[in-house]
Structures are given as C-alpha cells and as structure tokens.
C-alpha cells in the first residue's frame, strides 16, 4: 500500500496537460506529491496496525483455548498450582508425595482447564484436583484423579470418590 501509494503520487505529480491545453513540459507538483504520499503512507500504517491488533487478539484467543482444540503448554496455561498434603502421616499406610511426572499427567488430562489446586489423597496414587473452565462462570469442580497408570485418569468409582473427597472434611469438622 505504501509503495503503491508513493508510485501513484509520483506518477500523478508528473501529470502532463494535453498539447492543445497549452502543456508541453510536465511540471512536477510537489504539493500534490507530498499530500498524496502522506495519505497513502497513513493508510498503509493503519492497515498494518489493524493486522497486528487482529494477530494479537487471535493469539490471545488461542491461548485461552476458545478455538476448538488449540491449547497452550501446561506451563503457560495454568492459573496457579498449590500443593498441599492435608492427610496426617499417621493415617497413611505408605506416605507418598506427588512427583513432577504425576503433575504432568494431571496437566495433560486437564489441558483445556485451569488447575487451581492439586492435593494428594491419603490413598497412594490418588489426588484431589480443583479445576475451572477458562470460559464461562467461575465455578470450580473438584475431581479425583488416579496417577497410578502411565496417563492420569479421572476416577468414576462413587465410593472411592466420596471417601477421598470426604477425608479432609471429616478432619476439619
């Protein structure tokens, strides 16, 4: 746009009047050239600025995951992770701690959601995970996840889920 506008401004500034109107030598009109070049340069800069704004909005939308399956790596997409161990040592038959590999499994499982908190349960290999959608209301869900397998899996056994979720509540009461 800018290059084309400069060329057009130069061509139009060298406009030659037809011979019958008294024009023989083409005068170069500096005022017309500078005015036309200013407007085309301004329009070109505006178009470039708009394309950059659109690019940044698209990048932000992809980061938030609003375009289908596009997702960011877990390091940049998570809001905050708090590791807490609410179970006392006496009640755990085999004490265990959540490893980085286990955390990565959980991040892979909930890649499209914000993980707010990961809490190891007293039962080895199970965690309570507080997740929240990026879009929509600010409702949080607490899920029970098994990290015993090569990939983390959400636990659907109602008795196990209830026992793990109620464990911390019984101690607080």
Tens of pLDDT, residue by residue over 81-92, are 444 444 443 344
With respect to residue 69, please indicate whether it lies within any of the assigned structural domains.
no
Q: What percent of the chain has pLDDT over 70?
A: 70
Q: Cα–Cα distance between 32 and 29 in angstroms, integer?
A: 5
Q: Are residues 80 and 159 in the same domain?
A: yes
Q: Are residues 81 and 104 in the same domain?
A: yes
With respect to residue 14, please indicate whether it lies within any of the assigned structural domains.
yes
Of 10, 36, 64, at which residue does a domain stop?
A: 64
Q: Are residues 104 and 43 in the same domain?
A: no
Most confident of 6-10, 53-57, 90-94: 53-57
Domain that holds residue 83: 74-172
Q: Which of 92-101, 111-120, 136-145 has the lowest mean pLDDT?
A: 92-101
Q: Are residues 167 and 85 in the same domain?
A: yes
Q: Are residues 58 and 78 in the same domain?
A: no
Q: Are residues 60 and 79 in the same domain?
A: no
Q: Which residue has the tokens 């061509």?
A: 11
Q: Are residues 25 and 80 in the same domain?
A: no
Q: Are residues 114 and 43 in the same domain?
A: no
Q: Are residues 79 and 39 in the same domain?
A: no
Q: How many domains does the chain have?
A: 2
> ∠ CA(173), CA(167), CA(154), 5° rounding?
140
Of 64, 82, 107, at which residue does a domain stop?
A: 64
* Model pTM above 0.75: no
Residues 6+ apart with CB under 8 A from 83: 98, 118, 119, 120
Q: Are residues 157 and 108 in the same domain?
A: yes
Average pLDDT on 42-54 reads 92
More confident residue, 26 or 73: 26
Of 34, 64, 94, at which residue does a domain stop?
A: 64
Q: Cα–Cα distance between 34 and 77 in angstroms, integer?
A: 49
- Under 8 Å between Cβ of 130 and 142: yes
With a cut of 70, say whether residue 45 has pLDDT above it. yes
Q: Are residues 19 and 88 in the same domain?
A: no
Q: Cα–Cα distance between 130 and 119 in angstroms, integer?
A: 9
Q: Are residues 97 and 36 in the same domain?
A: no
């Amino acid at each position: 746009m800018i290059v084309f506008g400069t060329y057009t401004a130069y061509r139009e500034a060298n406009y030659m009047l037809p011979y019958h109107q008294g024009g023989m030598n083409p005068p170069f009109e500096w005022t017309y050239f500078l005015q036309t070049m200013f407007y085309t340069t301004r329009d070109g800069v505006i178009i470039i600025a708009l394309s950059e704004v659109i690019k940044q909005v698209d990048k932000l939308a992809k980061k938030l995951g609003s375009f289908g399956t596009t997702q960011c790596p877990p390091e940049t997409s998570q809001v905050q992770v708090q590791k807490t161990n609410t179970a006392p040592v006496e009640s755990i038959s085999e004490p265990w701690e959540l490893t980085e590999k286990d955390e990565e499994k959980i991040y892979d499982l909930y890649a499209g959601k914000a993980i707010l908190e990961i809490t190891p349960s007293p039962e080895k290999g199970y965690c309570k995970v507080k997740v929240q959608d990026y879009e929509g209301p600010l409702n949080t869900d607490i899920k029970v996840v098994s990290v015993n397998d090569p990939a983390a899996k959400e636990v659907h056994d109602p008795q196990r889920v209830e026992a793990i979720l109620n464990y911390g509540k019984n101690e607080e009461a």
